[in-house]
Amino acid sequence: IDPLYVLDLSTPADPRAVGVLEVPGFADYLYPLRNGLLLGVGKDANAQGLVQGVKLGLFDVSNPAAPRELASKLYGGRGSHTTLDFARQGLNLFERSASETRAALPVAITNDDGQSYQNGLLRLTIDTAAKTWRDAPLLAAPTTPDAVWHDVWYDRATQIEDTVYYFSRGQLQGAAW
């Protein structure tokens, strides 16, 4: 369990927690979005505390005394990771409009059998006005003849208008969002 604390920093000499939300797993990173939202990226954990797959969560902190988790999704099993596990520049956020933010995140997903893997780019569209998200199908990393597993340490993404560019395995590919 990783609590999400909402802090009142209006008096710097006396910061205080005004709200708390307990959720399974933990967030390595929290990204502020419009309309009092936070996007959390981290890992899930089971009841014994063993780290599981990649977990993304959307939180509403617009009422600091009552933070809530609006949505969450687990990607893969034990051993799954994102570029954020290696570099804080791993997530690309693009404010498409005043109410739409797009997130692109390279991932290495270990399937439940622990023997098969998927590498690619997670894509989320977050409607900050409606406080919802939807994810697109995984954009697969380029394949190479000698690699089944590819670590995502150096993978990156960027967005320009309706195109996402994904750099992986030394190759750059563009795709419609």
Candidate from 1-10, 29-38, 113-122 with smallest mean pLDDT: 113-122
Mean predicted lDDT score pLDDT of the chain: 92
Give CA 129 to chain center in angstroms. Answer: 19
Of the pLDDT bands very low, low, confident and very high (cuts 50, 70, 90), residue 147 is low
pLDDT (0 to 100) of residue 142? 84
CA trace torsion 37, 43, 45, 51 (10° rounding): -170
pTM, two decimal places? 0.91
The residues facing 97 across adjacent strands are 100
Average pLDDT value for residue range 160-174 = 94
Closest CA to 71 of 92, 91, 56: 56
Average pLDDT value for residue range 148-171 = 89
Judged against a pLDDT cut of 80, whether residue 25 lies above it is answered with yes
Task: Show Cβ contacts of residue 36 under 8 Å, excluding neighbours closer than 6 positions.
Answer: 60, 61, 62, 63
Q: Residue 177, Cβ neighbours under 10 Å: how many?
A: 15
Task: Show Cβ contacts of residue 134 under 8 Å, excluding neighbours closer than 6 positions.
Answer: 124, 125
Q: 54 near 80, Cβ under 8 Å?
A: yes
pLDDT (0 to 100) of residue 48? 85
**Residues 22, 28, 29, CA angle at the centre, nearest 5°?**
100
Average pLDDT value for residue range 84-112 = 93
Judged against a pLDDT cut of 70, whether residue 114 lies above it is answered with no
The residues facing 165 across adjacent strands are 158, 174
Judged against a pLDDT cut of 80, whether residue 24 lies above it is answered with yes
pLDDT (0 to 100) of residue 87? 87
